[in-house]
Structure 1
Amino acid sequence: MSIWEAVAIFVAGTAAGTINTIVGSGTLITFPVLLATGLPPVTATVSNALGLIPGSISGAIGYRAELAGQRRRILRLGLAALVGGLAGAMLLTLLPPTAFETIVPVLVTLALVLVVLQPRISAAVQRRRERRGTGAPHLDGGPLLFTALLVASVYGGYFTAAQGIIYLSLMGILIDDSLQRINATKNVLAAIVNTVAALFFLFVAHFDWTAVLLIAVGSAIGGQIGAGIGRRLSPVVLRTFIVVVGTAAVVQLVLR
């Protein structure tokens, strides 16, 4: 690996850590850079997953104020992330690298539509609850959200690209809470998925330690940058940023 390739990976890791903390899709920055340095797709995926762990943890710490009072929610949804992330990591070692290429753009596009429509959908759901007299919504989204996040985490353990957008769309619809607090939860769930997948990869998959270390340092720095930026964004601006980043991710996935 040349010095310029190392610099490119570090910069990509910093950018990925920043954007992952705010919304997600950082893998769409690091993954192409790793491929450009000559790493095979699976090796690049595994190295990327390992390297992004510090960024996920850094972002979660940066959002610690928004995590207050969410212990029960995170414990419950974290279990879905843990199981799903491990299953996705196992699938990566069993399925061909192109297995998810067809479904991923569709999945991310659907998530973006849900993010855009989330305020209207949430209001409609609340009005329906009031008419039926069913009271306040479930604090952690209930069985439906647990199942949906379990499936999303399988995808996250497999590839991770735009995983955060999918999480935000699901929780935004099924949890009655602010977008910033939901984003904080997203960062913790992403950290769980990345960590469990990476621990599995340590024992069964090949990775490039130099790339891992460069992305790890860069993403840890980016996590703090992203938390500083993301926590200051209004819900409208944050939702707009999610849509813009997600649209760019879909275009990149389709053209890749």
Structure 2
Amino acid sequence: MTGGEQLAVLAAGLGSGVLTSTVGVASLLSFPVLVALGIPPVVANASNTVGLIPAGLSGSFGYRSELREHPLVTRAVLACCAVGAVLGAVLLLALPASAFEAVVPWLILFACLLVGAQPWISRWLRRHHDESNPVSPRLSMSPATTGFAALTGVYGGYFGAGSGVMMVAVLGLGTDLELRVVNALKTLAVLAGNLVAGAIFLVAADLHWEAILLLATGSVVGGYAGARMGRLLPPAFFRLAVVTAGIVAAALML
């Protein structure tokens, strides 16, 4: 790579790190940059996944106070996504990519719809709840929410793009946690998926190590900076940003 190309990849890593800890669609920025520089798409995809692992680590560290607020939920999300990502990685090796590619954009668009409509859905559910049995805040994951979180982990290990948006939808509808906590849990979920997929790519895929090192350098800074910004985002703005980013990602895939 030339000096200018190295700078472009470094900047892409920085921006993707911020996106990892905020709206959760980091590959929307970094993957196209790698392909534009002439790296083959399969190599770029694997290198991008490995190079963005530091973003998830630094982002989760930046959100450490939020992750400590509900330790049981944090452990449940980490376990669900790690185990689910293992299954997703197995499917990645066993199934052709075309088996999932056609439905992925629609899954992301559906998740965007749920994220955007979550306040209205929650109010509707409370209105129709039995008034003799007052609703208490849902600060833990129900079996259904746990199951959907595990499915999101499977998706993260198999494909990954937009998995952060899906996790925001799952936790936003399945719990009453504050959005800043949901954002922290989403960042941890993305990290779990990237770690599993990255471990497989280290063994079984061709990698562009110069790109990985540049992405990792930028993303570790961006991930932590994104966590600092993410906890300050007003809920309405955060929801709008997630929906917008998800729609853009789905449109590019279509």
TM-score (norm 1): 0.91
SS in 2 for 1:67: helix
Deviations 1:101-122 (A, max 9, x none): 2111101110111011101112
Aligned partners of 1:157 and 1:181: how far apart in 2?
Answer: 23
Structure 1 runs, 4 residues or longer, greater than 6 Å off: none
Segment of structure 1 superposing worse, 77-86 or 95-104:
95-104
Deviations 1:54-113 (A, max 9, x none): 101111111222223221111112111011112222333333344432111101110111
Q: Does 1:139 align with 2:139?
A: yes
Cα–Cα, structure 1 residues 132 and 9, in superposed 2: closer, same or farther, change >3 Å? farther
| Alignment RMSD | 1.9
The percentage of counterpart residues that share the same residue type is 38
SS in 1 for 2:117: helix
Q: Does 1:104 align with 2:104?
A: yes
Segment of structure 1 superposing worse, 125-134 or 150-159:
125-134
Structure 2: segments with no counterpart, 5+ residues: none
**Contact 1:108/1:162 (8 A) holds in 2:** yes
1:180 is matched with which residue?
A: 180
2:232 is matched with which residue?
A: 232
Letter in 1 for 2:13: G
Cα–Cα, structure 1 residues 174 and 211, in superposed 2: closer, same or farther, change >3 Å? same
Aligned partners of 2:123 and 2:93: how far apart in 1?
Answer: 42
Segment of structure 1 superposing worse, 128-137 or 46-55:
128-137
- How far residue 228 of structure 1 moved from its aligned partner, in angstroms, is 2.2
- How far residue 15 of structure 1 moved from its aligned partner, in angstroms, is 0.9
2:62 is matched with which residue?
A: 62
Aligned partners of 2:219 and 2:116: how far apart in 1?
Answer: 28
**Contact 1:45/1:159 (8 A) holds in 2:** no
Cα–Cα, structure 1 residues 131 and 58, in superposed 2: closer, same or farther, change >3 Å? same
SS in 2 for 1:65: helix
1:14 is matched with which residue?
A: 14
Letter in 2 for 1:71: P
2:170 is matched with which residue?
A: 170
Deviations 1:141-169 (A, max 9, x none): 21111111111112211232111111001
- How far residue 138 of structure 1 moved from its aligned partner, in angstroms, is 4.6
2:74 is matched with which residue?
A: 74
Aligned partners of 1:129 and 1:56: how far apart in 2?
Answer: 38
Count residues in correspondence.
254
Structure 1: segments with no counterpart, 5+ residues: none
Letter in 2 for 1:6: Q
